[in-house]
Chain A
Amino acid sequence: MKTTVPALRADLAAIVAMIPDGARVLDVGCGDGALLEHLIATRHVNGRGIELSQQNVNACVARGLAVLQGDADADLAEYPSQVFDVAILSQTIQATRAPRTVLGHLLRIGQRTVVSFPNFGHWRVRLSLLAKGRMPRTKALDHHWYDTPNIHLCTIADFVALAREQGAVIERALSLDETGRTRPMNPSAWGPNLFAQGAIFMLRGG
């Protein structure tokens, strides 16, 4: 049996660390399945994925993963409630058409929900818009406004407000810096919203 899996991006590794052993996991927007594969190898999870791109789904199938080609915006409604221990939305919420609905479904489907996203409140983003008057482009968000898949960007403060509005309890909050290092943060403080490159939240439905 092959157990060696390639090293994981730092933000994904931080998510892996949050997942309990043997959990039932749904990874929404699972990409090429790198995170799922890690979770299965190191956390022995029963993992499922949803992914929009056909190429990525092929990669997942070749890895032996259970992945449905589909659209988070359209397909989550068909999942029964509370069937997964953890629902993961990694670097995906900002690319959905209806983030509020998607988050609502995840809170319903999973006992816990893990969401990671780039922080549009980072000072470089703020400064760039202020100084140049153009939509910011950063290393993490390297697209023009007209061709970006990230159609619903938010700041950490925005996300916290949405989570609270949905009645979710924030169980854990991590900030991500430029190098991908994570540290616990107070999600309501102004500091992380200004300095964090991204954030990872673990939520529980209210």
Chain B
Amino acid sequence: MVETITPRFPRPLSAPGADIGKAVHFGADKPLKLDSGHVLSPFTVAYMTYGALNAAKSNVVLICHALTGDQFVAGQHPVTGRPGWWETMVGPGKPIDTDRFFVISANVLGGCMGTTGPAETDPATGKPYGLSFPLVTVKDMVRAQAMLLDALGIEKVLCVTGGSMGGMQALQWVASYPDRVVTAAPIATAARHSAQNIAFHEVGRQAIMADPDWKAGAYQLEGTQPNKGLSVARMAAHITYLSEAALQRKFGRNLQERESISFGFGPDFQIESYLHHQGMTFVDRFDANAYLYITRAMDYFDLAADYDGVLGEAFRNCKTRFCIVSFTSDWLFPTSENKRIAHALNAVAADVSFVEIESDRGHDAFLLDEPELFAVMRGFLNAAAAQQGVA
């Protein structure tokens, strides 16, 4: 049984007036077979839509979110009360123009914003899954999204896009369902997670698991929250989203609300207090176990591995048109990784464009006000829409 329900979030709503979207519940007859061999059933996918579906159902833009993102790409986030994470990109008249396109974005499998993940209750036990939740992969996330589109009666998407892990999903979408994707715009991403990126993720996971309040993953049952660990994980990760140049420009050695150094370990420097703030606000909206599961899914991502190590084979004979975007100062998903995808696509004669955008803002550039990114996305979508006869 497939039914539409009201999504439930683990955290209270701070903006009760905001659109909370919907969720599709897949019953026992619609199991999700995972890469790990486990079968997840029942499960729920929470999602948001923006704009209107046209009669031909040809104007769908599917947005996939990154590690700590969610389905709230635009408008007010119901839990945090803040603007959606891609507010600059998505909306009426914006590059992904909701006056023209029907935007769908779903919370990923293993997430903590309404889609089934470790923080949800396991119907078999009546208790939170915690670490009994099966490991999920990027491919599993995409499977769940495909089932969502099936449930919504949508066969094809005009474009699938996203940055970072969202870009991984976009790539996986084309590899798994080439006939369902007209165009794909993976941004600041990679077809495999690098050793350095796995290393950073492991630091984050170890920080969470070292927190005594983590309770071997059973913190919900114990009534604790591993906030310290999750916050440190976020702080370490946040550094990787920025660049040395941007940190220097924004913070330098500026002191935080003091005239001189304190000869202590309080937050003397602005950068320290900034990171603390990032860590503290993160724990208010994110689940520690979900962080473990999603980082692991990214670590496991290696698209070429499914094709005997030849990345191009993932895209052989696909008719999807690609636009790949990287940023010069992104050292987490550097240009070289993005270009590797472009070359693999070229080698199998796929239709691919690649753009490297000059920016000193590191990996986070894809979330920020980057006019060149907007110009590329607008142009790419316009061309796709014209080709597909979307008004």
A residues sitting closer than 8 Å to B (CB atoms) are: 2, 24, 46, 48, 54, 57-70, 78-80, 83
Beyond A48-B346, A62-B380, A68-B346, is A54–B386 a contact (Cβ under 8 Å)?
Answer: no
B353 touches A (CB below 8 Å): yes
**Are B372 and A83 in contact, with the CB atoms below 8 A?**
no
Convert B336-356 into 0s and 1s, putting 1 for each residue whose CB lies closer than 8 angstroms to a CB of A: 000100110011010111111
From A68, which residue of chain B is reached at the shortest CB distance? B354
Which residue in chain B gives the minimum CB-CB distance to A66? B351
Q: A62-B379, A62-B383 in contact; A68/B353 too (CB < 8 A)? A: yes
A66 touches B378 (CB 8 A): no
| Contact yes or no, B356 A61, CB < 8 A | no
Residues B195-252 near A (CB distance < 8 A): none
Query: Hey, which chain B residues are within 8 Å of A83, CB to CB?
Result: 349
State whether A68 touches B383 (Cβ < 8 A).
no
Given contacts A61-B323, A68-B346, contact A2 B380 (CB under 8 A): no
Which B residues are closer than 8 A to A by beta carbons?
Answer: 321, 323, 339, 342-343, 346-347, 349, 351-358, 372, 375-376, 378-380, 382-384, 386-387
Contact A62 B382 (CB under 8 A): yes
Which DSSP category, helix, strand, loop or mixed, fits chain A's interface?
Answer: mixed
| Residue from the set A54, A61, A62 with the largest chain B CB neighbour count within 10 Å | A61
B contact face: mostly helix, strand, loop, or mixed: helix
In the complex, the answer to whether A66 meets B352 with C-beta atoms within 8 Å is yes
Residues in A whose Cβ lies below 8 Å from that of B358: 54
A68-B342 CB under 8 A given contacts A54-B356, A61-B353, A83-B349:
yes
Task: Return chain B residues, CB-CB under 8 Å to A24.
Answer: 349
Q: Are B357 and A54 in contact (CB-based, < 8 A)?
A: yes
Are the CB atoms of B376 and A61 closer together than 8 Å?
Answer: yes
A57 CB contacts on chain B under 8 angstroms: 353-355
Return B356 CB to nearest CB of chain A, in Å.
5
Assembly CA distance A60 to B351 (angstroms): 13
Q: Are A61 and B349 in contact (CB under 8 A)?
A: no
The residues of A that contact B372 with a CB separation of less than 8 Å are: 54, 58
> Which residues does chain B contribute within 8 Å of A65, judged by CB atoms?
353
List residues of chain B with CB within 8 A of the CB of A54: 355-358, 372
Question: Are A58 and B352 interface neighbours, CB within 8 A?
Answer: no
A68–B382 Cα gap in the complex (Å)? 18
| Contact partners of B355 in chain A: CB under 8 A | 54, 57-58, 61, 69
Assembly CA distance A57 to B375 (angstroms): 11
Identify 9 new A-B residue pairs, CB closer than 8 A, beyond the known A57-B353, A66-B353. Answer: A24-B349, A54-B356, A54-B357, A54-B358, A54-B372, A57-B354, A61-B383, A62-B375, A79-B346
